[in-house]
Amino acid sequence: MNVQKTLDALKARLYEIHDLHVAAGVLQWDQETDMPPKGAKARARQVATLRRLAHEKFTSPEIGEMLQILEDQGLPQWDPDSDEARLVRVTRYDYDRATKVPSDWVKAFAQLTSEARVVWREARARADFALFRPYLERIVVMVREYAHFFAPFDHIYDPLLDRFERKMKTAQVQALFERVREGQTRLLQHILSRPQVDNAVLHRHYDRQKQRDLIERMVAHIGFDLERGRIDFSTHPFTTGFSIDDVRFTIRIKENDLSEVLSGGLHEMGHALYHQGIDPKYEGLPLGRGASLGVHESQSRLWENLVGRSRAFWQFFFPWVQETFPENLRDVTPEAFYRALNRVEPSFIRVEADEVTYNLHIILRFELEIALLTEDLKVADLPEAWNAKMKAYLGVVPPDDAKGVLQDIHWSQGSFGYFPTYALGNLLSAQIWNAMPQELGDLNTFMSRGEFQPILEWLRERIYRHGNKFDPQELIQRATGQTIQAEPYLAYLEGKYGDIYG
């Protein structure tokens, strides 16, 4: 078979696999937003069927044979940066990851985590870690097995991290997180010694429908294309895309907390802008998604925080909010609103954390995951270790395990290696932000005039359009001139919160 024919045949298979995953995605989105409650049982089987068929098709020997032909005959003749070369490399990477794991293990792990999720929910509801403990113990054993399918490795955590952040190494993350932990705990100590910011204005009563209309008008103004996307409600906000022309995110609204829709909405909009910005030629192929969880999170956090919690942003948008809720905000200044949205306060729950404390929640989890996998920590001792780190990093100890070690779904799903990508996203958000002014000049001037097009265009050109073509660190290097750094984020926090808290 010649190279072009093989490439076409490979693409045809990849489109098919992609369509099966997309279908599963639509079924899951539907389940979160629209499905009648009793539909869950049949839906679980339907999604499992689609994922299984996609997995079978992707791990079939034919894919391996096609890749081999393209590596032998295509790569030597192609520009290494061409779409063809990169498609083959990324697909090979995914293929090796998928085929190194025996299907018996995959099946057993799916079974275990499916049961574990149910037990975890029960355990969290009862704040009873002992219920969940035996499941987590079995999950840790299986996750260690998983890592060993990828031996040899420098660190047992490397293959887990690599699932979500291609080619990132544990040692590199450890070095970054050392400096982040030191810098953010110091900043937090300083803030806690200063008078607290008042955010009562956010907790007045805000009408649901008006909140929804407001966030839709805001994201449309910023650049989210509602002809190629939509906004829905769900219990836990998320973003999903069924093509670059159909990207959806969900929001959650609290009538007594306006910050919920503003931060959650702008966060998910960031993920959605990334997806809408991918080059259409990659649609349906492994290049047509974000480069990694960390890079994706850099965009949600950039729009949520660097943009959406900035003074300049609210100089433009506060009048919109004030007009929508005059009864609540007639007497409020843009500056007071800005400060309220940036109140810092240590809390038990990761997803409620502010910019200064968020990474500390992540670093705690990262350190505990590593200790479990290296067998330096037993699952039985996990709650105690959790609480000790909460005390050390955040100065607070949860009253029970529901607000502590049981709060996140990730471990019940076996998603070890996922948490660090949240903090990597934070670091990248500031690093990328700092690279823009060299070309664009002062970003605050744009934002205070409500002009987001230059920022969005820069991000599309340097990040979004490339999709998954480059490895994450290569993409960041190309966009910012450096691999991932901790300093820009720490400097951003110190500058901003030094100003707010004095």
Smaller CB separation from its own copies, 145 or 232: 232
Among 38, 76, 331, 438, binds its own copies (CB under 8 A): 38
Query: Among this protein's residues, is 268 annotated catalytic?
Result: yes
Residue 27 dihedral angles phi and psi, to the nearest 5° = -65, -35
The catalytically annotated residue of 165, 260, 268, 355 is 268
What Cα–Cα distance (Å) separates residue 169 from each residue in 95, 149, 383, 469, 490? 20, 17, 27, 20, 21
- The CB-of-268 to its own copies minimum distance in angstroms stands at 15
Contact 357, 418 (CB under 8 A): no
Kindly state whether residue 235 participates in binding its own copies, applying the rule CB under 8 A.
no
- 34 lies in the binding site for its own copies (CB under 8 A): yes
Using the rule CB under 8 A, which residue among 1, 4, 30, 178 binds its own copies? 30
Provide, rounded to whole angstroms, the least separation between the CB of residue 297 and its own copies: 24
Residue 21 or 92: the one with the smaller Cβ distance to its own copies is 21
Binding segment for its own copies (CB under 8 A), chosen from 41-49, 208-216, 330-338, 453-461, is 41-49
Is 246 a binding residue for its own copies by CB under 8 A? The answer is: yes
CB atoms within 10 A of CB 478: 12
Number of amino acids touching its own copies (CB under 8 A): 39
Q: Between residue 262 and residue 281, which ones bind its own copies under the rule CB under 8 A?
A: none
Q: CA 242, CA 21: separation in Å to the nearest integer?
A: 9
State both tokens at 121.
């929910």
Contacting its own copies within 144-203 (CB under 8 A):
none
User: Phi-psi bin for 375: left (phi > 0), alpha (psi -120 to 50), beta?
Assistant: left
Which part of the chain contacts its own copies (CB under 8 A), choosing from 133-141, 167-175, 238-246, 321-329?
A: 238-246
Token reading at 309: 């919690």
Instruction: Identify which of residues 8 and 30 has a Cβ nearer to its own copies in the complex.
Output: 30
- In this structure, are residues 295 and 476 in contact, taking their beta carbons and an 8 Å threshold? yes
Q: Which stretch binds its own copies (CB under 8 A): 68-76, 105-113, 148-156, 241-249?
A: 241-249
User: What is the C-alpha separation between 79 and 85, in angstroms, rounded?
Assistant: 7
Question: Least distance in Å: CB of 226 to its own copies?
Answer: 7
Query: To the nearest whole angstrom, how small is the minimum distance from the Cβ of residue 26 to its own copies?
Result: 5
Task: Please give the order of strands across the beta sheet that includes 239-243.
Answer: 229-233, 246-251, 239-243
> Cα separation of 67 and 325, whole Å?
58
Q: Is 167 left (phi over 0), alpha (psi -120 to 50) or beta?
A: left
Catalytic residues: 268
Binding stretches for its own copies (CB under 8 A): 15-16, 19-20, 22-24, 26-27, 30, 34-39, 41-43, 45-46, 49-50, 53, 225-230, 232, 242-246, 248, 283-284
